[in-house]
Amino acid sequence: MSLAWLSNPLARFHPFTRKPLPPKAVALLTVGAIRTISNDGSYVIAELEPGIMVTAGTSLLVTANGEETSHLKVAEITPPYFVAEIETGHPEPGELLRQ
């Protein structure tokens, strides 16, 4: 290792180095609303918003009053409805699903 940096500590500093930009935030997209919940509370049946499509395996957030309440994962799709497994939380009918 060279000791040149000891005589000039700014030798390693380059004034034009650029750091990569942080990722930009993307607004959540409303994909549907919960219509019903299974008796055992393991899945929901939801209705898609017009013009929106989801794919199996997609993770969704349930929001109520502007706050995140539950996490779901899309299991089966039969437009305009789909089934999503409840991963966390206790969603309620009428709550919005966002991606």
At 54-78, the pLDDT tens digits run 999 999 999 887 778 899 999 999 9
Query: What distances in angstroms separate CA 5 from CA 8, 12, 18, 21, 29, one per listed residue?
Result: 5, 7, 21, 29, 51
Pairing of strands 59-64, 30-37: unpaired
Structural domain boundaries enclosing 64: 27-98
Could you tell me if residue 85 is inside a domain?
yes
> What CATH code is carried by the domain that includes residue 42?
2.40.10.170
11-24: pLDDT as tens digits:
666 666 678 888 88
Q: What predicted TM-score, i.e. pTM, was given to this entire model? A: 0.72
Euclidean distance between CA atoms 86 and 42, whole angstroms: 5
Could you tell me if residue 56 is inside a domain?
yes
**Residues 99, 84 contacting (CB under 8 angstroms):** no
Could you tell me if residue 93 is inside a domain?
yes
Q: 43 in the Ramachandran plot: left (φ > 0), alpha (ψ -120 to 50) or beta?
A: beta
Could you tell me if residue 66 is inside a domain?
yes
Per the structure, the count of domains in the chain is 1
